[in-house]
Amino acid sequence: MRNAIYSELSRLLPTVIATTLSTWNQYNLRPIQVVDRPDSLFITPYADQVEINLDFEVETQQPDGSWEPNWSWNNEHKEEWGKAKVEWKSALVVEKVSTLKRFSRIEVA
């Protein structure tokens, strides 16, 4: 079963992972969202894109230490989106710092 799932994912992932820097500010699936650790089963075909994606994440960290979501609610429910955006920024900090740590991209005191 594991081999069948791996085979199917190997076939599908190239069609859904955004592998170019120019698309990462849009709503899409980034390489580090699939390959979120150095020992990932899918590191080999995406190693170069993962390194570039990690650089991108470091460069796009905001001065307050957060990351902006790469999506919005398109000016609908502005008040609710304002609250949700703060919560999403918090979740993104946890996700990105954890991933950067696993790839030894941040120093741990």
Give tens-digit pLDDT for 6-31: 999 999 999 999 988 889 988 899 99
Yes or no: say if 19 and 31 are a contact pair by the CB < 8 Å rule: yes
Query: Residue 109: what pLDDT?
Result: 67
Lowest mean pLDDT among 4-8, 30-34, 43-47, 75-79: 75-79
CB 52 within 8 A of CB 70: no
Burial tier of 16 (Cβ tally within 10 Å: 0-12, 13-18, 19+):
exposed
Q: What is the pTM of this model?
A: 0.87
